[in-house]
Amino acid sequence: MISIEPSDGIVGATVNGVDLAKPLKRRVIGAILTALGRYSVLRFPNQDLNPVAQKNFAARFGKIKSSAKHRVPDVPEVCLLSNIVEDGESIGYVDAGMMWHKDMTSDAVPGFTTILHAIKVPRRAGLALGDTQFVNAQAATDDLPDDIKLQLKDAIGIHSSEKYNARVRDAGSKRPSFENLPVQNPPIPHRLLIIHPVTGREILYCDPGHIVRLEGLPAGVDPDEMMKFLVAHQLQPKYHYSYSWTEGDVVMWDNLGSLHRGTLDYELDELRLMRRSLVRGDKVFNPGFIKSTLKTVETVA
């Protein structure tokens, strides 16, 4: 039977008793969805997923965003994050996620979950490198002063993938794909306070990597100062959690309830290989899907 063990950090839980390579019953998907809303980051240890099985699992939660580059052959819904070089070129995205961000904020509907499967984890002196760091956006929202929440009532953040690309280039990204990128999407507005479709709780949807400006604030409230406050507030160390990878881990995280970034503490000869799937928000923001899925939830230990 599926069991869920919370981590000792501010986010995260380990899910046991599930083989993601096999078709899962709807009640198990419901239990995973409930846990993801509650804990934001879920670890499934000791998984052996081929790309097709990963795609099939991810598709249970929504449409998968195909990668423009570094796709797994014949499975565009799965891409590679890697520093491995073959024939003079990296086989995957080399330094993905080096800035704090949420995935798929430039979609018209906020992106839901990212699923990452660890195939090869870099190590030095026996210690794993390349941790993924998370911020608990739900806890940060709960701690916002009431007057700030009131000022954010009608506020909107304008999200741009081009801003994130520029920031990553400025930070020293070594990815050729970030050079001279064409405009991918027009800026997309999202409310700064949204209702999480799984938990029903109010949550701050503030991405320091993608937001170019704030709109809809009350007269007299400076948008730039508000953005600085919100970023500093949610990036306080008390909301941080660092996840250390092991080969065979599958980790899925909730982009609504968290921020994340990669830790680039490994060298090119310390090899890393991850398979990634990005799941859009089409299903999770569909009340019919949420109602029908959550009512089947399997009791978890």
pLDDT tens digits along 157-184? 999 988 777 777 766 666 555 455 455 5
Asked whether the predicted pLDDT for residue 267 surpasses 70, the reply is yes
Closest CA to 259 of 73, 10, 5: 10
3-state secondary structure of 63: coil
Q: How far apart are the first and last CA of the chain?
A: 8
- If you count DSSP H runs as helices and E runs as strands, how many of each does the chain have, helices first? 7, 21
Tokens describing residue 57 = 């699992």
Q: Which of 64-73, 170-179, 273-282 has the highest mean pLDDT?
A: 273-282
Asked whether the predicted pLDDT for residue 135 surpasses 80, the reply is yes
Rg over CA atoms, the chain: 19
3-state secondary structure of 223: helix
Asked if 83 contacts 121 with a C-beta cutoff of 8 angstroms, the reply is no
Closest CA to 177 of 161, 193, 153: 161
- Band (68; pLDDT cuts 50, 70, 90): confident
Q: What type of residue is 48?
A: D
The pLDDT tens digits for 241-259 are: 999 999 999 999 999 999 9
Mean pLDDT throughout 61-81? Answer: 93
Fold of 3-293: Double-stranded beta-helix (3.60.130)
pLDDT reported for residue 204: 98
Other CB atoms closer than 10 Å to residue 266's CB: what's the count?
17
Other CB atoms closer than 10 Å to residue 233's CB: what's the count?
17
Summary mean pLDDT of the chain:
92
The pLDDT tens digits for 90-114 are: 899 988 777 899 999 999 999 999 9
The pLDDT tens digits for 187-241 are: 999 999 999 999 999 999 999 989 999 999 999 999 999 999 999 999 999 999 9
Least confident of 9-18, 53-62, 136-145, 169-178: 169-178
Mean pLDDT throughout 36-63? Answer: 97
Between 291 and 165, name the one with better pLDDT: 291
Between 300 and 138, name the one with better pLDDT: 138
